[in-house]
Amino acid sequence: MSSRGVRLQIRDHHVVVDNGILQLTLSKPDGIITGIRYNGVDNLLEVLNPESNRGYWDIVWNSPGSQGIFDVIKGSSFRVIVENEEQVELSFTRMWDPSLEGKVVPLNIDKRFIVLRGSSGFYSYAIYEHLKDWPDFDIGETRITFKLRKDKFQYMAVADNRQRLMPLPDDRLSGRCQTLGFPEAVLLTNPKNPEHRDEVDDKYQYSCQNKDLKVHGWISTNPPIGFWQITPSDEFRSGGPHKQSLTSHVGPTTLAIFLSTHYAGQDLVPKFRNGEPWKKVFGPVFLYLNSTKAGDDPFWLWEDAKIQMMAEVQSWPYSFPASDDFPKLDQRGTISGRLLVFDRYMSRDYLPAGGAFVGLSAPGEVGSWQRECKGYQFWTRADDRGYFIINHVHIGQYNLYAWVPGFIGDYRCDALINISQGSSIELGDLVYEPPRDGPTLWEIGIPDRSASEFYVPDPNPLHINKLFVNHPERFRQYGLWERYAELYPDEDLVYTVGTSDYSKDWFFAQVPRKTNDNSHQGTTWKIAFKLDRVDRKNRYMLRVAIASATLAELQIRVNDPSSKRPLFTSGLIGRDNSIARHGIHGIYWLYSVGIAGLHLVEGDNAIFFTQPRCTSPFQGIMYDYIRLEAPSTN
Give how many domains the chain has, as a whole number.
3
Residue 458's domain is classified under what CATH number?
A: 2.60.120.260
Say yes or no: 420 and 463 in one domain.
no
Say yes or no: 576 and 554 in one domain.
yes
Residue 412's domain is classified under what CATH number?
A: 2.60.40.1120
Mean pLDDT of 240-262: 97
Say yes or no: 480 and 415 in one domain.
no
Final residue before a domain boundary, out of 375, 402, 432: 432
Predicted confidence band at 297 (pLDDT cuts at 50, 70, 90)?
A: confident
Tell me if 174 is assigned to some domain: no
Residue 399 host element (H or E)? strand 396-403
Tell me the residue length of the chain.
634
Final residue before a domain boundary, out of 375, 405, 432: 432
Say yes or no: 462 and 392 in one domain.
no
pLDDT of 394 higher than 80 = yes
Q: Is 5 exposed, middle or buried (0-12, 13-18, 19+ CB in 10 A)?
A: middle
Query: pLDDT of 413-459, one tens digit each?
Result: 999 999 999 999 999 999 999 999 999 999 999 999 999 999 999 99
Mean pLDDT of 112-124: 98
Please tell me the predicted confidence (pLDDT) of residue 2.
Answer: 58
CA 179 to chain centre: 25
Tell me if 188 is assigned to some domain: no
Tell me if 235 is assigned to some domain: yes
Domain coverage including residue 579: 440-629
Say yes or no: 477 and 621 in one domain.
yes
Say yes or no: 450 and 415 in one domain.
no
Tell me if 190 is assigned to some domain: no
Say yes or no: 247 and 344 in one domain.
no
pLDDT of 579 higher than 90 = yes
Query: pLDDT of 302-339, one tens digit each?
Result: 999 999 999 999 999 999 999 999 999 999 999 999 99
Handedness of CA 418, 281, 123, 4 (dihedral sign): negative
- Quick one: which of 312, 167, 140, 296 has its CA closest to 229? 312
Predicted confidence band at 129 (pLDDT cuts at 50, 70, 90)?
A: very high
Tell me if 2 is assigned to some domain: no
Predicted confidence band at 295 (pLDDT cuts at 50, 70, 90)?
A: confident
Say yes or no: 416 and 343 in one domain.
yes
Say yes or no: 32 and 50 in one domain.
yes
Contact 171, 191 (CB under 8 A): yes
Please tell me the predicted confidence (pLDDT) of residue 555.
Answer: 98
Residue 313 host element (H or E)? helix 300-314
Please tell me the predicted confidence (pLDDT) of residue 63.
Answer: 95
Mean pLDDT of 541-568: 97
Query: pLDDT of 24-35, one tens digit each?
Result: 999 999 999 999
pTM above 0.85?
yes
Say yes or no: 373 and 515 in one domain.
no
Tell me if 78 is assigned to some domain: yes
pLDDT of 1 higher than 60 = no
Say yes or no: 476 and 619 in one domain.
yes
Tell me if 157 is assigned to some domain: yes
Say yes or no: 342 and 223 in one domain.
no
- DSSP, res 491: S
Query: pLDDT of 5-44, one tens digit each?
Result: 999 999 999 999 999 999 999 999 999 999 999 999 999 9
Predicted confidence band at 258 (pLDDT cuts at 50, 70, 90)?
A: very high
Predicted confidence band at 633 (pLDDT cuts at 50, 70, 90)?
A: confident
Tell me if 171 is assigned to some domain: no
Final residue before a domain boundary, out of 432, 461, 477: 432
In the chain, what percentage of residues exceed pLDDT 90? 96
Query: pLDDT of 448-501, one tens digit each?
Result: 999 999 999 999 999 999 999 999 999 999 999 999 999 999 999 999 999 999
- Quick one: which of 145, 150, 140 has its CA closest to 70? 140
Q: What is the mean pLDDT of the chain?
A: 96
